[in-house]
Structure 1
Amino acid sequence: MQDFHVSATGHSLNYLPEYVAVWQGFFEEEGLNVTASVPSPWDLVLSDIGSGKAQAALGGIWVPSMFHGRGKRYVPFAQVAARAPLAIVGREKPGDFDWPAMPGKVISMKGSNGASVGLFVKLLLRENGVNPRDVRFVQDLDGKMLSDLFVGGMGDYLVIDYPSAVTLEAGGGGHVVQELSITGGNVPWSVYYTDGQSDDAGLDTNTRFARALGRGMDWIMANDAEGYRDFLARTFPKFNPDFLARLANIYRAKGMWTTPRIDPDAYARWQTGIHDGHLTTTPIAYDALIDARPTAAFAAR
């Protein structure tokens, strides 16, 4: 059995296919003993893959994009989440939310765990005809503090993870006015990447990993989440199992989990957002960044 450790930037419901593939023995059937950890601060994932402590990092594709051509070569080879697991909480009712009305508003969103949230919200603003420069942002605080401040009256909107947004709404802290995992469209939100291009042995390992991950996705798509509430409760003890099952079924229905292959069109869209966020000098061509070999079998699906 070959050890395969994932150093992840979080422990999230949108990573569910990995957890299911461990639980159901799909990785084991590929000869892999997959384990995971979440270092703090999150950017230690880069040290973990650089030192060999981990075989892959799990997080945003903006990191490999940002380092491309700048002394480091981080290579994404598989995707676990194809949508942003975020929501916008506002003070109005959902039916009253209007993107063109965003200029002059204050949007709070955490910036302490990477750039993805801000990049994605600003991409959506541009796609809806709003210049992000006309919107005010609070991005220098952590999520819990921002949530408390929003409930206390600061700002017009709060962007947080979808489970926390629904929990906040249930407690009377605001209204979920945009479920971005439903309305936000496809982007390669969470990907696995290595430090450098894989050699033949690494390619074989990553291919087996991607194949088992794909089986985890297929299993989720074939099974209503109500049937494995106990597993969800064990995996995410912070949240109510009924709530987790409902959210997992929403993710199933709305395309969070497709295949481990990074979709070229979704990738190109996200590259526009990453470039517009000034992390790259130009959008990076798919083949220049992605190692598509481990997921080649999924290309025809």
Structure 2
Amino acid sequence: MKKRFRAAFMLLAGAMLLLSACQEKPAEKKLEKVRIAEVTRSIFYAPEYVALAKGFFKEEGLDVELTTTWGGDKTMTALLSNGADIALVGSETSIYVHAQGSNDPVINFAQLTQTDGTFLVSRTKVDNFTWDMLKGKTFLGQRKGGMPQMAGEFVLKKHGIDPHKDLNLIQNVDFANIANAFAGGTGEFVQLFEPTASIFEKEGKGHIVASFGTESGHIPYTTFMAKESYMKKNRATVEKFTKAVYKAQQWVEKTDSKEIAKAIAPYFDDTELDIIETVVDRYKSQGSFATDPILDEDEWNNLQNIMDEAGELPQRIEYKTLVNTEIAEKVK
């Protein structure tokens, strides 16, 4: 009888302990889903991948779903059709949308990169490069109307080169095929993004001779943006998102390129770690990664000047019309 009583008592005590443990365990917080459409997959966007890899979005209670949409037009279509909540794309796209008479403007709320991300690559090794060496040469440029092409032309004109008269300018090659066209023998110079520029240099297919990012100055090259209606309805979410981005920007600013490369490597399976490190270091050294999410007015005006110079600015848009810095300033 005593044995049965003792056994029953122990079972009851165990059950009470288990119940107590269950009651004391805090309920797991449900993460809020946020869908990002990024214009391309690029080491240029390192802070975005850091925010994902280091769990900064999750720390803010966000479950971020990242989709690469491969092109500005497709990215904006995803955002405008509610296929994405937030877009990572060039700020010029918000100007194009606004010029078309949108009733729900796309608002730039957090800047990620603050320079152009392309480099001038020469087929042959050039010692003591000067920009006038491009005159009379075949130049394989970027797609007309895109920010790389506009920034590229802006830099060329800055150095006294008319891209449409002083060069044999090729602009009819799709973005995805520019590198292959150059590798196949087209052009004496080419404007390339990383990591392709560094890969070509490592493989002896080309030589980096200049940076368009350094030459074109600070511009809101890539920003996080959302429809005005989404921002009004989900202000707290956008604030949490911006906070995570800022954490990542600060981490990138304070961390060496080798550690950054290791953190973002899972997002670039086809790129060797040493190349990722080289690219990150190059972008860090020229200040391409914004150190905070604030898009300032001088950058906005510089962007429109570059677009205007290229003949691609549909109309000049006031800074406060398409830029909201309230959240970024609060986060900072």
Pairwise same-fold verdict (TM > 0.5): yes
Distance of 2:85 and 2:184 partners within structure 1:
43
**Alignment pair present for 1:56 and 2:89:** no
Match 1:80 to one of 91, 112, 115: 112
Alpha-carbon displacement from aligned partner over 1:276-298 (angstroms, at most 9, x marks no partner): 22332443221122122221236
What is the aligned-residue identity percentage? 23
Q: Report the secondary structure of 2:160's partner residue.
A: coil
Structure 1 residues not aligned, in runs of 5+? none
Aligned position for 1:153: 185
Distance of 2:178 and 2:318 partners within structure 1:
36
Aligned position for 2:304: 271
Q: Which amino acid aligns with 2:189?
A: Y
**Alignment pair present for 1:251 and 2:296:** no
Match 1:116 to one of 133, 137, 147: 147
| CA 278–51 in structure 1, closer or farther in 2 if over 3 Å, else same | same
Aligned position for 1:261: 294
Contact 1:204 1:294 in 2 (8 A): no
Contact 1:207 1:293 in 2 (8 A): no
Q: Which amino acid aligns with 1:218?
A: Q
Distance of 1:208 and 1:166 partners within structure 2:
35
- Deviation, structure 1 residue 69: 3.2
Match 2:269 to one of 237, 245, 248: 237
Q: Which amino acid aligns with 1:155?
A: G
Q: Which amino acid aligns with 1:132?
A: P
Q: Which amino acid aligns with 1:208?
A: K
Aligned position for 1:175: 207
Q: Which moved more, 1:28-37 or 1:45-54?
A: 45-54
| CA 229–276 in structure 1, closer or farther in 2 if over 3 Å, else same | closer
Contact 2:44 2:194 in 1 (8 A): no
Match 2:134 to one of 76, 82, 102: 102
Distance of 1:105 and 1:279 partners within structure 2:
25
Match 1:25 to one of 55, 59, 73: 55
Aligned position for 1:38: 68
**Alignment pair present for 1:214 and 2:262:** no
Distance of 2:208 and 2:122 partners within structure 1:
6
Q: CA RMSD in A?
A: 2.3
Q: Which amino acid aligns with 1:125?
A: L
- Deviation, structure 1 residue 42: 5.1
- Deviation, structure 1 residue 147: 2.8
Aligned position for 2:224: 192
Aligned position for 2:233: 201
Q: Structure 1 stretches (4+) deviating beyond 6 angstroms?
A: none
Aligned position for 2:10: none
- Deviation, structure 1 residue 75: 1.6
Match 2:195 to one of 151, 156, 163: 163
Q: Which moved more, 1:165-174 or 1:247-256?
A: 247-256
Greater Cα radius of gyration, structure 1 or 2: 2
Aligned residues: 298
Q: Report the secondary structure of 1:43's partner residue.
A: helix
| CA 152–121 in structure 1, closer or farther in 2 if over 3 Å, else same | same
| CA 46–228 in structure 1, closer or farther in 2 if over 3 Å, else same | closer
Q: Which moved more, 1:65-74 or 1:89-98?
A: 89-98
TM-score, normalised with respect to structure 2: 0.81
Q: Which moved more, 1:278-287 or 1:183-192?
A: 278-287
TM-score, normalised with respect to structure 1: 0.89
Distance of 1:68 and 1:144 partners within structure 2:
27
